[in-house]
Amino acid sequence: MIVDMPYWTKVLKRILCFVFTIIGLFLAFKLAVFYLPFLIAFIISLIIEPLIKKMMKKFKFSRRTSSIIIFIIVSTIILGSLIWGLATIFSEASNLLQGLNDYFDKAYNMFQDFLNSFDFNKINLSPELLGVIQNSTGGILEAVSNWARGFLTGLINWVTSLPVISIYFVIFVTALYLICVDKIYILDQIEHHLPELWVKKMGKHFRDLIKTLGGYLKAEATLILVSFLISLVGLYILQFAGFPIGYPLLIAIAIAFVDALPILGSGAVMIPWAIIAALNGEINLSIAVIVLLIIMSTVRQFLEPRLVSKKIGVHPIFTLIAMYTGFKIIGILGLLLGPIILIIFKNVFATMIDGGVMKTIFSRK
């Protein structure tokens, strides 16, 4: 049997290239988490870049002057929001932690009332199965209660770790300033220190990746911020109007986080909330939550086509798989990071995916 060594050598090189690229992406992800303040500074710099260019064009300022002005404004807003947010989160999380048992007892009683009011004879449900449902419901509520208690305790501990937060904030602000002011110099230095062959072969591909991923992160960050602000303002208005909303900031953060997840959206939080409020007899609150959801969805539908210039081209099933994989590996945060890694993966292996992964690897060309 004659072995075609040149062919199998080429196949082996493609496989190794594929494997090392995946390892590189994994290491890049780990580094991104490790250098999170710099990543956040990079994302915010993308958001404020149009403001810098607009100021340069309108007032004929240099890039440095425009960057410093926008940086001071943005940093002041972020610092004020951070101080207010930490104080409010501490207050709301502490109050919620103290009353957590009461809330879950109320939820359990509501479910028991529903079971007692429902005629199970119509569906021929046996008493044994009904007992299993009741016991499992109590177990689920207890598990959720323990998770919520642990999460709130960790959140309070994080908020009270002011020295660590201060260090992260200083690093973030410094990185944001340097990226805004010296963006061109930084890019030149990166190209200067990379091998010329890398710059020629990977430069365009890397710029396309940064453009795609940066555009996606910029658009999503803007949409999440808009959803967060609308929900926060709306919830505070409802609270001032006398509706029973005790934790507007925590609820707004939860809505924004879920809204950031592909496929789900803010309705995954607000629709169940409205249904539970209606079942609890709070019809006005249920209607108010639905109205707020309609406002948020309308604004998002208006902004999304203008912020997201083109589709990512990933089928929802693969996005769902990426979310599930991220969740299994790193927890709740993985739901958000999974789709982002999928976008990077698709962009890096675009040629291979378009031609078929196995076909491309084992092709004789």
Asked whether the predicted pLDDT for residue 158 surpasses 70, the reply is yes
| 153 domain-assigned | yes
pTM: 0.73
What average pLDDT does the segment 117-137 reach?
65
pLDDT value at residue 194? 66
| 348 domain-assigned | no
* Core vs surface per residue 22-32: b (16+ CB within 10 A) or e: eeeeeeeeeee
| 133 domain-assigned | yes
Highest mean pLDDT among 31-35, 106-110, 346-350: 31-35
What average pLDDT does the segment 290-309 reach?
79
Q: What percent of the chain has pLDDT over 90?
A: 15
| 333 domain-assigned | no
What average pLDDT does the segment 240-262 reach?
87
More confident residue, 40 or 343: 40
Average pLDDT, the chain: 79
Q: What is the pLDDT of residues 189-242, one digit of tens each?
A: 766 666 766 666 666 666 666 677 767 777 777 878 888 999 999 999 999 988
pLDDT value at residue 124? 64
Domain count, the chain: 1
| 307 domain-assigned | no
What average pLDDT does the segment 22-41 reach?
82
| 221 domain-assigned | no
pLDDT value at residue 343? 76
Q: Whole domain around residue 119: which residue ranges?
A: 35-193
